[in-house]
Amino acid sequence: MNIDKEDCLSTAKELIGFLEKSPTCFHAVQSIADCLEEAGFTQLHEGEKWELTEGGSYYVTRNGSSIVSFKVPGKAFSGFQIMASHSDSPSFKIKENPEIEAENHYVKLNVEKYGGMLCAPWFDRPLSVAGRLAVKEGNRIATKLVKVDRDLLMIPNLAIHFNREVNEGYQYNAQVDMLPLYGGADAKGTFMETVAESAGVKKEDILGHDLYLYNRVPGSIWGAGGEFLSCGHLDDLQCAYSTLKGFLEGGHPECVSVHAVFDNEEIGSLTKQGADSTFLEDVLRRINSAMGRSEEEYLMAIASSFMVSADNAHAAHPNHGDKSDPVNRPYMNEGIVIKYSTKYATDGLSAAVFRALCQEEGVPCQAFTNRSDKAGGSTLGNISNSHVAVNTVDIGLPQLSMHSPYETVGIKDTCYLIRAARRFYSTSMKAMGSGSYEVR
């Protein structure tokens, strides 16, 4: 497929802007909600009655960190076209009472690991803090997003003179090695004041928080031909962003288009807002009910539904090619990756359906499988399927340095997924009762 370089560059810059506004899952969901509001979507609330209209566009959030948006063409819809990704990324979470005095001259912060991150890239780079606060406002508890928008912290490496064997391999201790330095002795007692000031609230009104470290290094487009993009949170906000763009551009008069972004994939999804919750099923059932349809009509629609679980994939590494499967070796800028594993929801039929859509759109596809002697990571496809049983394909965009605070992708692949997502949402899939689909 011929793809315009200037279009890819423009899209890459937009993606970097989205990523830099989304340092945590809470900010990512707010960024998505802002895009939906700008496109004319109406916000719904789980604790209120839903009044849906034909041709309406809506979204609902849970916990401020997961979001499901949808477009209802009419009452007589045949199924749901779903694309799902996740909002969270591996990081370090700030503990309660975080300040720790050290050497009578420093104040550092007590943190714990969230998800399975690469530890080494967190050292010696400017960091800050973002997340949400639970704040007392009269007789209610309100949540507020906060992003301390300045270089605030750093995790200093131990000099090689004190650890001569570090380059021969080192096991990082999260309680010893990974605590960020906040300030000198005079900084004692000021951390939550700094956070409160950034959020525009009083320190004494903060009753709870979900705060995380985030990398302050700006996103970059680089390489001999400007072919690579590096930034934080590409896994999985690159997929969330790309599928959102396709969702806003696509649509079919016979299907409900659904865009879902779940929190907590990096820690197993087993939360009220994760893929292993009732969130997606609750939304689909409420759409069906609000449109005056029966339970049988809901089950019929589920049978003619399809889900694309979009979570980034491993590109073959230029220095470690031996870590990849000998045959199925994805590369950046060469298209969407269809992911195959016993841990994934992809099967021959779901892969064929997605591959056919991509071929019709002229979007290249690649295949990923793990080496047979290496266990791969999990994703949200099969987990979500345990609640909403629809045919599902697991896909992703190829990247390097997965779970680093500064990951790398190809600038073409975002455009490929946007086009595939637009085509997917503009397609109707009808189950034929014999394990096959009529795709229109």
DSSP H helices, 66-199, are 191-199
Closest Cα partner for 307 from 423, 428, 390?
A: 390
pTM above 0.85, yes or no: yes
Domain boundary, last residue among 213, 242, 277 = 213
Residues 129 and 270 in one domain: no
Given this model, what pLDDT does residue 360 score? 94
Q: Give the CATH number, domain containing residue 202.
A: 2.30.250.10
Please give the average pLDDT of every successive group of 10 residues along the chain, which has 440 residues.
86 98 98 98 98 97 98 95 98 98 98 97 98 96 98 97 94 97 98 98 97 98 97 97 98 96 95 96 98 96 95 97 96 98 92 96 97 86 91 97 98 98 92 72
> Side chain identity at 269, as an amino acid letter?
S
Note whether 9 and 119 are same-domain residues: no
Based on the fold, state whether residues 412 and 349 are members of the same structural domain: yes
How many helices (H) does the chain have, and how many strands (E)? Answer: 9, 22
In a shared domain, residues 19 and 125: no
Establish if 223 belongs to a structural domain: no
Q: Are residues 148 and 192 in the same domain?
A: yes
Phi and psi for 410 in degrees, rounded to 5? -95, 145
At residue 433, the pLDDT reads 67
Q: Which domain, by its residues, includes 166?
A: 90-213
Secondary structure of residue 435 in the 3-state scheme = coil
Residue 434's pLDDT is 65
Nearest by Cα to 32 from 83, 74, 81: 83
- Same domain for 196 and 246? no
- Coil, strand, or helix at residue 39? coil
Query: By CB neighbour count within 10 A (0-12 exposed, 13-18 middle, 19+ buried), where does 23 fall?
Result: buried
In a 13 Å sphere around the CA of 189, the CA atoms on its Cβ side amount to 2
Residue 298: CA count within 13 A, CB half-sphere: 17
- List the beta bridge partners of residue 113: 92
Task: Tell me the C-alpha distance between 152 and 194, whole Å.
Answer: 10
**165 is written with which tokens?**
């064997």
Give the rounded distance of the alpha carbon of 197 from its chain centre.
Answer: 28
222-249 burial: b if 16+ Cβ within 10 Å, else e: eeeeebbbbbbbbbbbbbbbbbbbbbbe
The count of structural domains within the chain is 2
Contacts of 63 (CB under 8 A, 6+ apart): 263, 271, 272, 273
Q: Are residues 309 and 384 in the same domain?
A: yes
Is 115 contained in some domain? yes
Residues 275 and 417 in one domain: yes
Separation of alpha carbons 26 and 146, rounded Å? 9
DSSP annotation of 171 reads: -
